[in-house]
Chain A
Amino acid sequence: MKALRFAVPLAVFAGLAVLLYSGLGKDPSIVPSPLIGKPVPDFDLPELRDPNARVRASALRGQPYLVNVWGSWCVTCRVEHPLLMRFAAERKLPIVGLNWKDEPEEARRWLKQYGDPYAHIPQDLDGRTAIDFGVYKAPESFLVGADGIILFKQVGPLTDEILARDVLPLLAKGAAR
């Protein structure tokens, strides 16, 4: 009974400490996506660089690709951009740049100024496709497998660490399958 008087509060304290400590390093604005393991949302949008062309989700099937949601208005996209340029140059994966609620003129100027890492740029003028992707905080990136299934989602800028730890291993596993 005496031992219990110490053990119970100690156990409660230890439990709380673990719970609160595990929450310390997390960003509460990053919410797990329900889309992982689901097929990529269907879209059929105009291509930013060619007014006569369309980018269709169905046409992208058969190879893995990275969807990167960006906008010329998005400051963090500018921070992420050099990494995308490097990643595109490595040619491991085509990058599809979903241009989210942007002025096409501004977007084209942005690419001219900083460089264009994208294989395709579907233009999401009204933000409908972004809603289908559950986008809420640009930049966001999705790794899509050759079968059109979303394997991974990153909210916020990609980093070398995330590419090495999450994206590339998943890609290797997908290729082996």
Chain B
Amino acid sequence: MTRSVLAFALALLLSGSVSAIDPMPFRDGGEERRFNALLAELRCMVCQNQSLADSDAGLARDLRNEVFELMRDGKSDTEIREFLVTRYGDFVLYRPPVKGATLALWFGPILVLGGGSLLLLTTLRRRARALRSLKAANTHAADDKGEIA
């Protein structure tokens, strides 16, 4: 019983992931791989945290067709990305270009990591120094009384 329920659940799961994208009439595996790689890096504007490859929104379907046709027209990946950027902006790219407006996006994390590391390092050093001077003071005190700490 449990097994058949599980099998049914698995079947449902698989059917969902298959129907999200309608199949394209690819000529060969290479074309299909190129198409999928391109789509995975493009954002669906309707459901923003999904790529064009994952989304079953109507607009995503139209844009997939558009990308496919541009590929068939012999456009390069860069030209296809450019086509979408001129219409929807850099936001369609999951990997936005490095430029003035995106500097903080690209280098902010490195800056935060560097600042944090610096802070951690100086704090640890200070503590180690404080501990050493405390130990030194203790041994001095012990020596003065003629005892061993």
Contact = CB atoms under 8 A, between A and B. Distances in A.
Contacts of B86: 34-35
Interface string A26-52: 001101111100000000000000000
A127 interface: yes
B108 to A, nearest CB: 10
Contacts of B89: 31-34, 134
Contacts of A126: 62
Contacts of A131: 62-63, 66, 87
B62 A136 contact: no
B58 A31 contact: no
A31 to B, nearest CB: 5
Contact of A136 (B45, B66, B85, B90): B45
Interface in B41-63: 45-46, 48, 58-59, 62-63
B62 A31 contact: no
A52 B63 CA distance: 29
A133 B48 contact: no
Contact of B88 (A29, A128, A136): A136
A101 B46 CA distance: 15
B48 A28 contact: yes
A132 interface: yes
Contacts of B48: 28-29
B46 A136 contact: yes
Nearest to B47: A29
Nearest to A28: B48
| Consensus secondary structure, chain B interface | helix
Contacts of A29: 48
B87 A137 contact: no
A97 B66 CA distance: 23
Given A136-B45, A136-B46, A137-B45, A35 B87 contact: yes
Interface string B81-93: 0000111111100
Interface of B: 45-46, 48, 58-59, 62-63, 66, 85-91
Given A134-B87, A134-B88, 14 more contacts: A31-B45, A31-B89, A32-B89, A34-B89, A126-B62, A127-B58, A127-B62, A128-B66, A131-B66, A131-B87, A132-B87, A133-B87, A136-B45, A136-B59
Ranked nearest first, the 9 interchain pairs of A and B with the lowest CB-CB distance are A136-B45, A134-B87, A34-B89, A31-B91, A127-B62, A134-B88, A136-B59, A136-B46, A31-B89
30 contacts: A28-B48, A31-B45, A31-B88, A31-B89, A31-B91, A33-B89, A34-B85, A34-B86, A34-B87, A34-B88, A34-B89, A35-B86, A35-B87, A101-B58, A126-B62, A127-B58, A127-B59, A127-B62, A128-B66, A131-B62, A131-B63, A131-B66, A131-B87, A133-B87, A134-B87, A134-B88, A134-B89, A136-B45, A136-B46, A136-B59
